[in-house]
A and B are shown apart, each in its own frame.
Chain A
Amino acid sequence: MRRHLAVLLLSATLLASACGSDDDSAGQGQPDKVTVGVIPILDVAPIYLGVEKGFFSKRKIDVSLKQAEGGAAIIPAVVSGQYQFGFSNVVSLLLAHSKNLPVKIVSNGNNSTGVDGEDFAALMVKADSPIKSAADLEGKTVAANTLQNIVDTSVRASVRKAGGDPKKVKFTALPFPEQPAALQSGNVDAVFVVEPFQQAVLADGGRKIASSYVDAAPNLTVAAYFAAQQLIGEKPDLVKRFTDAMQESLSYADSHPDEARKIIGSYTEIAPEVIAKVTLPKWPADVNRDSVQTLADLALEDGLLDEKADVDSLLP
């Protein structure tokens, strides 16, 4: 058993030294190897597209994309230096920032379409549900993929906008893939799903009652790419090149939706006929700062944050 521990410790040390030894050889010959933690969902299509189009390699960045099941695993991996960059929703980043984790947004991720009723995410109910608007959710149960995060914050914004009391809405944690079945079997009264599960609920005859990401803030920045402060301090040039490459990737994906749909088929298992139907998010090149401030204010109001967030120090 002691040997076992010793081997673990030894390999930990070896790994740590191996990770720390790659020096910053920016611009001169060798490309910088970076690992980016992403989630296998529509939202990250631009970075896959950007890698394929060479937007990163022409800036001497060799990107390796690592899929994690959720953003929860990505933030610790970026902070500990396993990954150089990561993809996470803005509320998770605000929460991490408020707990003094040294994270900073370096690029926009994806935004809502800004069009009510035609977003890549929706608050939905069963076909025969008596619920007509978000205000009717008082006393009802809504499924959210994680509690105290961007989903319940946005759903509460929808309830507030429709004239209801968000405090009277109950949330229950349920991963996106399980939500369509839970709605169908009546275990929950409403779900907040993103694509491709919006298509699954629609196929079951479900109805959209609100586009919560649209209700939360105009053209809401839902998620962003971030780095640890340490990397930004040590390799500002690499971070700058990554940001530039991301901006080009985001603009390209936003203006070439067909190519974006095609690349989604390569890193997800979403059926081709579903990919053709899904509503894509918007991919503006820059973070919508006002929307992040609005989210921070909502998070404070809903009690996710204990004190006012310093949004400027989180944003680039």
Chain B
Amino acid sequence: MKRGVVLGVVGLLGFAVLLELAPRIGLVPERYAPPTSRILGTLVTQTGEERFWLAVFDTIRTWLLGLAIAVALGVVAGVLIGTVPVLRAATASTIEFLRPIPSVALIPLVVVLWGSTITSTLALVVYASFWQVIVQVLYGVADIDPVAQDTARSFRLGRWHRVRYLVWPTALPYVVTGVRLAATVALILTITGELVVGSPGLGQEIATARASGAVAVMYALIVVTGLFGVAANVLTRAAERRALHWHPSMRAEAVPA
């Protein structure tokens, strides 16, 4: 674990040095690809501006709100559809049709419906991350041990109890994976929405910096979105470890190989 972190940091530093050197030795034009040091310097300047923090706040809000809505809808719809075989059969082809539609393809529709608002971006975020969650939940619900299922039936567990003590523990590892995937997808769509639709946030600031020819500012903001992605991964992994501390996959050392 420690070794992994050290190597990760070394890799990141190596990448930064590479991006510092490429423009310095003339591999890429410095005007359009500023060296790392200038990007980081610009980032520090940006953190002194109120406008930057407002954008950060807007982005985090859209991201988390979209993720929360998608997870809630995905879990409820997934458990409902997954536990009712008729619903499952009736919706399977519809889900497979809707799921691969790229969210970005819906941009013209949401712009006409809600204009350049957070609602537009939120709709894209929810649409994209919803599928990540519901598909995982469906797999999770389908993974229930038949013996456990029969046992629950012999004990005449009610519908609610079956969901609580059988379906939910089985599906939880899948749900957590779905949330982790959805967190990244939600971030991507948040920035895309802000960038293309023009709702307030970091994406819009990137678009403004680009339209202003402020190359260093643009890269500085892109670095911030990258940091968000890293944070999302670290946080969801930590949450995964907490929520699944009882699960065999998280207790490798306790299970003899």
Contact = CB atoms under 8 A, between A and B. Distances in A.
Contacts of B213: 177, 180, 196-197, 199-200, 270-271, 274
Interface in B94-126: 94-95, 98, 108, 111-117, 119, 123, 126
B115 to A, nearest CB: 3
A176 B210 CA distance: 9
Contact of B198 (A4, A11, A15, A68): A68
A270 B73 contact: no
Interface stretch (A36-44, A53-61, A153-161, A298-306): A36-44
B119 A269 contact: no
Interface string A176-201: 11001100100000000000110110
A77 B111 contact: yes
Given A73-B198, A80-B112, A269-B217, A67 B208 contact: yes
Contact of A40 (B91, B196, B212): B212
A10 interface: no
Contacts of A39: 211
A83 B214 contact: no
A265 to B, nearest CB: 10
Interface in A223-272: 267-271
A289 B195 CA distance: 35
Nearest to B91: A1
B77 interface: yes
B154 to A, nearest CB: 33
Contact of A181 (B32, B94, B98): B32
Nearest to B211: A40
A200 B31 contact: yes
- Central interface residue in A2, A12, A68, A204, by most chain B CB within 10 Å: A68
Given A69-B196, A200-B31, A269-B217, A41 B211 contact: yes
Interface residues of B, number: 41
Contacts of B218: 269
Contact of A1 (B94, B113, B123): B94
Contacts of B114: 12, 15, 82
Contacts of A274: 213
A69 B29 contact: no
Helix, strand, loop or mixed for chain B's interface?
helix
Given A1-B77, A1-B91, A196-B213, A69 B198 contact: yes
A66 interface: yes
Interface in B105-163: 108, 111-117, 119, 123, 126, 130, 134
Interface in B183-197: 195-197
A114 to B, nearest CB: 25
A303 to B, nearest CB: 25
A77 B29 contact: no
Contacts of A37: 115-116
A4 B77 contact: yes
B137 to A, nearest CB: 12
A229 to B, nearest CB: 17
A7 interface: yes
B95 to A, nearest CB: 7
Nearest to B204: A67
A171 to B, nearest CB: 21
Contact of A269 (B73, B91, B208): B208
A127 interface: no
Interface in A97-118: none
B119 A69 contact: no
Contacts of A15: 114, 119
A69 B207 contact: yes
Interface string B228-242: 000000000000000
B224 to A, nearest CB: 14
A198 B205 CA distance: 22
Contacts of A203: 31
B209 interface: yes
Contacts of B205: 269
A274 B113 CA distance: 38
Contacts of A82: 114-117
- Central interface residue in B73, B111, B116, B195, by most chain A CB within 10 Å: B116
Contacts of B207: 40, 67, 69
Interface string B16-51: 000000000000010110000000000000000000
A161 to B, nearest CB: 29
A206 to B, nearest CB: 12
Contacts of B116: 37, 66-68, 73, 77, 82
B13 interface: no
B76 interface: yes
Given A76-B111, A77-B115, A271-B212, 12 more contacts: A12-B113, A69-B195, A80-B113, A180-B31, A180-B32, A180-B213, A181-B29, A204-B31, A268-B211, A269-B209, A270-B212, A270-B213
10 contacts: A2-B77, A4-B77, A15-B114, A67-B198, A69-B211, A73-B197, A82-B116, A268-B208, A269-B214, A269-B217
What 10 pairs between A and B have smallest CB-CB spacing?
A82-B115, A269-B214, A269-B212, A270-B212, A268-B212, A269-B209, A77-B115, A68-B198, A40-B208, A196-B213
